[in-house]
Amino acid sequence: MARLPLAVVTGGAGFIGSHTVDALIAAGYRVCVLDDFRTGKRANLAQHAGSDKLEIVMCDVSHGIFAALAPVTAQHGPVERIVHLAAQVSVVASVANPLVDMAVNYGGTLHVLEYARAHGVKKVAFASSAAVYGDVATLPVAEETPTQPVSPYGIDKLASEYALDYYASVHGVATTALRFFNVYGPRQDPSSPYSGVISIFADRAKAGRPLTIFGDGLQTRDFVYVGDVVRAIVAAVSDGNSRLVANVGTGNEITVLELARTVVDLCGGKSTIDHAPARSGEILKSRARVDRLRDQLGVVAETKLVDGLRATLA
Ligand code: NAD
Ligand code: UD1
């Protein structure tokens, strides 16, 4: 049998990562997950138990990835493509602990890029964030908008984008940075106060417990379903583009208050909604311009919020 192309997914045991692994295996790749399981879970990859198409290697990417990948490449051949998702993902956690955030998020990206340079990896696709924009005057926000991050997390995602650009222009490593907006869907872990809002609201509303909104709830987000995000990731890591930066969102926004009411309604209306003080480092409004996603990556995020919420709640 011909050797399958090898793709590495850092953070592959996490929420977006495990869906990415599913899609890459379905697309004909052999996949190696590098994860240190700080938030990821082996259970997210249990559907591949016994498969010879998935290797899972415990590795903290902020300490380097050469040694972790050496036995895998000795057996399966060179790494062709890397999806780099491993990161500390909470904006408010980055405000509380900026040093850890920078070391993991920016440091991890540098280690991935060094590997890609040294081993001639054909493509690196990176999970950047809408947080690089900060608070912008005009929505939807296009990729050309000047970036002005307002959190350590936004700063280290932007620094990682600069590093991608440097490795592309100076060392010829082909890269794409995907600026994810607010991703949601099954397998998003609700267990931490720093978890994504939809995972927390869904978990609480299913149990009939109160939902807490930080601030007045009039802040908006562009919530994009994980299945749509994964199509963008697979396109980005497989194509021949380099130095592309693209938003990954729907082009729609909803207030957190309206989101809370929708989730409560979908769960039978038992939960109350309270308010707590707004969190620092957060942006107020967010909505993606998605022309580049469509034109350069051929992806339109088509899952309606209510359908995505139903799939998440199920
Ligand atoms: P997640 O926490 O479920 O996944 C992150 C994964 O990375 C976990 O499996 C975790 O164990 C692993 N990880 C963290 N630090 C690591 C390290 N040093 N070494 C190895 N593994 C490590 O979060 P997610 O929502 O799936 O996020 C994936 C990526 O997408 C992150 O880079 C995040 O910043 C980015 N992103 C997410 C969103 C969103 O709304 N969820 C939006 C924008 C960007
Ligand atoms: C999220 C992602 C971040 C990503 C960014 C891109 C997570 C944890 N964070 O950040 O990785 O880069 O989108 O746009 O996935 N809220 C409540 N009540 C709660 C929880 C949250 O009101 O119980 C509010 C927050 O104050 C915020 C909004 O919901 O206004 C969204 O919060 P959160 O899900 O943490 O995401 P972001 O900070 O937007």
Q: What is the DSSP string of 205-236?
A: HHTTPPEEEESSS--EE-EEEHHHHHHHHHHH
Residues in the chain: 314
Q: Which helix (H) or strand (E) holds 50?
A: none
To 10 degrees, the CA torsion angle through 250, 255, 256, 258?
-100
Please, which pLDDT band fits residue 307 given cuts at 50, 70 and 90? Answer: very high
C-alpha span between 93 and 154 (Å, rounded):
12
More confident residue, 1 or 234: 234
pLDDT in tens, 17-42: 999 999 999 999 999 999 999 999 99
Residue reference for tokens 């599913």: 22
Where does ligand 2 bind, in terms of residues with CB under 6 Å?
89-91, 129-131, 180-182, 194-197, 200, 212-214, 219, 221, 256, 279, 282, 286
C-alpha span between 306 and 257 (Å, rounded):
15
Instruction: State the CB neighbour count (10 A cutoff) for residue 170.
Output: 9
Residue reference for tokens 């949601």: 184
- The 3-state DSSP class for residue 59 equals coil
Predicted pLDDT of residue 2: 79
Taking the CA of residue 200 as reference, the ligand 2 atom at the shortest distance is 23
Predicted pLDDT of residue 1: 61
Nearest CA to ligand 2 atom 12: 129
What value does the mean pLDDT take over residues 174-193?
97
Residue 232: CA count within 13 A, CB half-sphere: 35
CATH superfamily of the domain spanning 6-184+223-250+288-302: NAD(P)-binding Rossmann-like Domain (3.40.50.720)
Please, which pLDDT band fits residue 201 given cuts at 50, 70 and 90? Answer: very high
Which are the contacts of 1, defined by CB distance < 8 A and separation ≥ 6? Answer: none
pLDDT in tens, 164-181: 999 999 999 999 999 999
Of 15, 37, 45, 51, which is closest to residue 227 (Cα–Cα)?
15
pTM of the full predicted structure?
0.98
Which are the contacts of 26, defined by CB distance < 8 A and separation ≥ 6? Answer: none
Whether residue 140 has a cis bond before it, omega within 30° of 0: yes
Q: For the chain, give the percent of residues with pLDDT over 90.
A: 97
Predicted pLDDT of residue 233: 98
Which are the contacts of 52, defined by CB distance < 8 A and separation ≥ 6? Answer: none
User: Which residues participate in catalysis according to the annotation?
Assistant: 153
State the chain's mean pLDDT as an integer.
97
Of 93, 189, 173, which is closest to residue 126 (Cα–Cα)?
173
pLDDT for 263 beyond 80: yes
Taking a C-beta distance cutoff of 8 angstroms, is the pair 304, 259 a contact?
Answer: no
C-alpha span between 283 and 157 (Å, rounded):
15
pLDDT for 282 beyond 90: no
Which are the contacts of 207, defined by CB distance < 8 A and separation ≥ 6? Answer: none
- The 3-state DSSP class for residue 278 equals coil
Taking the CA of residue 197 as reference, the ligand 2 atom at the shortest distance is 34
Taking a C-beta distance cutoff of 8 angstroms, is the pair 180, 130 a contact?
Answer: yes
Nearest CA to ligand 2 atom 37: 91
